[in-house]
Structure 1
Amino acid sequence: MAVPVGLVTSLALTWSSTHAAFSASTGNADNSWQTGSVVLADSDSGSALFTSTSSSDGALKPGSSRSRCIRLDYTGSLQADIRMYVGTPAGGATALDPYLLMSVERGTDVDKDTEVKADCTGFAPTGPATFLDSATHADAPSTATSRTLGHLRAQHRDHDTGIVVNPATAPNTYMTLRITYVLKDEDGAQSKQSAATFTWEARNT
């Protein structure tokens, strides 16, 4: 009896493991993912916009003023919020900050082949020369103090607190900016020095 029972059991197992079945399937092939980009460059070629020395022909004096222009090239694929802020280079001085009146102006946009002259020849402003928002800042008591390098450095020190250059910048936008300083006519400005790093940062929106 053991052999027939084993044979029947074996046949049953074989049938259950090899019998046919209906089936159907569908698929969605070739899925892929690609990130966008945030790309910002400028036209300064790695050189400082402003330099002055302590020599008689290079040192600032009351009323000294200079404007310099720069082009910002946004070529990322994502829309971006571009802001400007001011930092202090390692070992940089800040003693002259309260005496340097500053303005940052937005100019008209240009195309990618337009050369922006560092001396601002041909610059066309789009608003008054008081930072970029054309206003006395709420955290400063007057226009004069709100426009100093000290105010810029203290109140606009990173992207979150930065001056808005363009809040929704489209790909392939070429912006122009003019930055100007004027030294106050005050005795306290004598024999003082400041250094600053201007940073423009883009973050996708």
Structure 2
Amino acid sequence: MRASLRRGRRSVLAGAVPVGLVLSVALTWSSTHAAFSASTANPGNSWQTGSVALADNDSNTALFQSAVETGLVPGATKSRCIRLDYTGDVPADIRMYVGTPAGGGATLDSYLVMSVERGQNVTGTTMVAPDCTAGFTQNATRTFLFNTRQANDPLADQAATLTALRTRADYTTGLSLGTPVAPGTSLTLRISYLVKDDNNAQRSRSDATITWEARNT
């Protein structure tokens, strides 16, 4: 009986070894060849922001200066021209707004009829004379951004005064120069004033900061 049991155990053990080897090989094969694979990649990703850049051809000096615009009398009028160069690399909306410098006056505001006119675009090297004698060419259909005519025109809107223009006090309320401009655009503007024939305008003075601001669209 005992000999028979010993022979049975040897048979079981002998049979278990090959089975164990088969399972071991199967597990090894399964672990090393468990899945198919494939991959793809998108190398070289990068990001670059655009820029907004605006300059003018008068080196940030005043268009109208009290040393010149002094002793004004009813009917006094003048126009000043400027070139704005947009050199950013994304389209931008440009607006004009008017502020009051610290300690500045505003008592002449309601007696100054104002107009802002956009002329034809030019190149960035075009000389636009501050006194408008060169470089500014009005459009075939004149483009007034403020007022309906030039300030010294008898038919100009007399309500379009510096008081009204000064309500354009920041970019949000600013005077739009038109549709957004493309990079490399140089615009020309003509700003004019006329002193009203009103006796109350005596001994009055106004000061203003004119700002041109571009923001990408």
TM above 0.5, yes or no, is yes
Q: Secondary structure at the match of 1:167?
A: coil
Q: Secondary structure at the match of 2:177?
A: strand
Q: Does 1:193 align with 2:202?
A: no
Identify the match of residue 92 of structure 1 among 79, 87, 104.
104
The structure whose Rg is larger is 2
Cα offset, 1:128, TM superposition: 4.3
Partner AA of 1:93 in structure 2? G
Identify the match of residue 170 of structure 1 among 182, 185, 202.
182
Q: Does 1:38 align with 2:52?
A: yes
Deviations 1:161-199 (A, max 9, x none): 221213220111100001111111111111111100111
Overall identity of the aligned pairs, in %: 52
Q: TM-score, normalised by structure 2?
A: 0.76
Q: Counterpart in 1 of 2:39?
A: 25
> Is the 1:99–1:183 Cα contact (8 Å) retained in structure 2?
yes
Q: Counterpart in 2 of 1:184?
A: 196
Q: Does 1:75 align with 2:90?
A: no
Q: TM-score, normalised by structure 1?
A: 0.80
For 1:9-158, what aligned pairs fall within 5 Å after superposition?
19-21=32-34, 22-53=36-67, 58-122=70-134, 123-126=136-139, 127-128=141-142, 130-132=144-146, 134=148, 143-145=157-159, 147-154=160-167, 156-158=168-170
Cα offset, 1:52, TM superposition: 2.1
Structure 2 regions of 5+ residues with no counterpart? Answer: 1-19, 150-155
Partner AA of 2:49 in structure 1? T
Deviations 1:19-49 (A, max 9, x none): 3544322211110011111111111112111
Distance 1:133 1:184, change over 3 A: closer
Matched residues in 2 for 1:49 and 1:71: separation?
Answer: 12
Partner AA of 2:58 in structure 1? D
Structure 1 regions of 5+ residues with no counterpart? Answer: 1-7, 136-141
Q: Secondary structure at the match of 2:47?
A: coil
Alignment: residue pair count: 185
Distance 1:131 1:178, change over 3 A: same
Cα offset, 1:132, TM superposition: 4.3
Q: Counterpart in 2 of 1:139?
A: none
Alpha-carbon RMSD: 2.6
Matched residues in 2 for 1:132 and 1:40: separation?
Answer: 21
Matched residues in 2 for 1:129 and 1:30: separation?
Answer: 47
